[in-house]
Structure 1
C-alpha cells in the first residue's frame, strides 16, 4: 500500500516527509514527483511504510493536519489510471495513417 499526500508546500523535501511520517512507524519510501518541464515539485507525494497498520495510523492522524502552512490531504493512494496508448493518435488499427 502507498499513501497519497496532497496539498504540500513546494519547498518540502523527502527528509521532511520522512520525519513527519516516522512518528507513526518506519518509512520505507518517499516519492515527490516533479514537473517534467520546470523540475518544480508538483505539490503532492507518496509515502510507503513498513505495515498497513502504520500507514493507517499516519492517515488517521495526518489527514487535514496543518503542516508548513497548509492543510495536508492524506489518504490511501489509488492505482494509476491507464490513459491508453498515447502513441496511437492519427493511426488506424493497422498502425498507418489513412
Structure 2
C-alpha cells in the first residue's frame, strides 16, 4: 500500500471528485482531503492510498494534469522531519 500526496487542489474539491479521478488507475483504498476548519473548504492538498503499481500509474497519468482548473501535483508522500522539543 502506497500513500500519495496530491497538491495544488482547488478549494472547491470534494473527496468524491478526487476518488473518482484516481479510480481510473485502480482501487482507491482511502481518500482524505485536508479541510479548513472555519470555511469547510479544501486547504489545497490531500492524500490517497493505493496499491504500489496502481499508485505509480496514477502519478504518471495525473501529475501536472488539469483538475478543477488547477494543475495538480501527485507524488509519493514523504514523511515530514521530526521537530525538536521547545
Common fold by TM > 0.5: yes
Report what 1:12 is aligned to: 13
Largest Rg, 1 or 2: 1
Aligned-pair distance for 1:60?
0.3
Aligned to 1:27, the other structure's residue is in SS state coil
Q: TM-score, normalised by structure 2?
A: 0.89
Matches within 5 A, 1:78-97: 78-85=78-85, 88=86
> Which blocks of at least 5 consecutive residues in structure 2 are unaligned?
none
Aligned to 1:15, the other structure's residue is in SS state helix
Residue 29 (str. 1) matches residue 22 (str. 2): no
Aligned residues: 85
CA deviation profile, 1:41-98 (whole Å, cap 9, x unmatched)? 210011101x10000000000000011100011111101221223xx4xxxxxxxxxx
> Which blocks of at least 5 consecutive residues in structure 1 are unaligned?
89-98
Looking at structure 1, the residues matched to 49 and 21 of structure 2 have their Cα atoms a distance apart, in angstroms, of 13
Looking at structure 1, the residues matched to 61 and 41 of structure 2 have their Cα atoms a distance apart, in angstroms, of 28
The structure carrying a bigger strand percent of its residues is 2
- Could you say what the CA RMSD is over the residues aligned between the two structures, in angstroms? 1.5
Report what 1:95 is aligned to: none
